[in-house]
Amino acid sequence: RLQKLKEMFISKFGSAPKFYARAPGRVNLIGEHIDYCGYSVLPMAIEQDILIAVEPVQTQVVQLANTNSSYLDFSTSVNNIEINKTKPQWHNYFLCGLKGIQEHFGLNNPTGMNCLLDGTIPPSSGLSSSSALVCCAGLVTLKANGKTLSKMELAEICTKSERYIGTEGGGMDQSISFLAEEGTAKLIEFSPLRATDVRLPSGATFVIANSCVEMNKAATSHYNIRVMECRLATKLLSKSKGLEWRKMLRLHDVQSKLGVSLEEMLTIVEEVLHPEPYSTEEICKCLGISLEELHSQILSQNMQEVPTFKLYQRAKHVYSEAARVLEFQKICSEAPANALQLLGELMKQSHISCREMYECSCPELDRLVNICL
């Protein structure tokens, strides 16, 4: 593959690449949609990856090409990078990683580059092709400019820089892309970022099946609406418990401030929130604020037109899923005889919660799960 990439690079740019960078995609075993709420997740990297051949150049221009001809060539000056949020094209993810590193080091005269990219992660399939591209671009920019960072620092910079494209991610994808090691999954915890090996039961094989339904996080608002619903649930739960709700952003903050267990948080959700969707007016009434304050202080720019929010379902999913992650880790470390059955049961519960409480599944995926069961 490297040889083929090198030959294509030479025919494209007329010279050989100086180095190659690689970042893997990932699959999340359990812990769906809870990283941005502050909770631990349990992903593992996969062999499918983003591979980039690079030649630093004297001109302050970045030229990007892709081995897949359906992705068009792109070139831009390395100074004053503009990232178009309205059309999330492939090169914009590269620019996120580039800009993140440039800004971190305050690079005034960044190095230009010729880059040829080869990706084996199916796009928009939930295996983090976009984050792997951001990570690989960050790595490429770091190397081309002769800078060094730890994997931990790189993961944090790439998490922040992916937000340039409008995805409010939590950091799981970037962390596992940099911190993964062969033969182990990782429990990834946030603020501060840390990764712990989770040894999966011996003889276990994970089959990654693709429902072939594409979902582009940056192009649709579903993802960011969920992030906002979790934020609003955080505020209502905090207010009901007399906490400083204006400062609270994530569901994890409520739990840690109250100093209670995840099971107790689920009871609080039942007591405080109702299953019917909340209108913006009702949210304002609960928080004692004006509609104007809700729109200007809490809702992000692309959420202004959303009429209702489901808070009970989202909070219930997050707290129950966070508990499943810890249970999954515990089973892996204790390795009982029926470990695989227990892990399978947790993954099944996770999918049911994703389907019913978080509504981030689709009929094709549900059908795939049923076939597997």
Which candidate in 35, 118, 173, 253 is catalytic? 173
Give, to the nearest 10 degrees, the angle between helix 222-240 and helix 251-258: 20
Query: Which residues does 361 contact at the CB level (< 8 Å), separation at least 6?
Result: 351, 354, 355
d(CA 3, CA 321): 44
Long-range contacts of the stretch 154-161 (C-beta < 8 A, 24+): 154/178, 155/179, 155/193, 156/193, 157/100, 157/101, 157/104, 158/96, 158/97, 158/100, 158/131, 158/134, 160/100, 161/96, 161/97, 161/99, 161/100, 161/101, 161/103, 161/134
> How do beta strands 112-119 and 61-66 pair?
parallel
Query: Is the backbone of residue 128 left (phi > 0), alpha (psi -120 to 50) or beta?
Result: left
Question: Is 118 tagged catalytic?
Answer: no
Q: What is the 3-state secondary structure (H, E, C) of 109-126?
A: CCCEEEEEEEECCCCCCC
- Who's near 4: CB < 8 A, 6+ residues apart? none
Catalytic positions are: 173
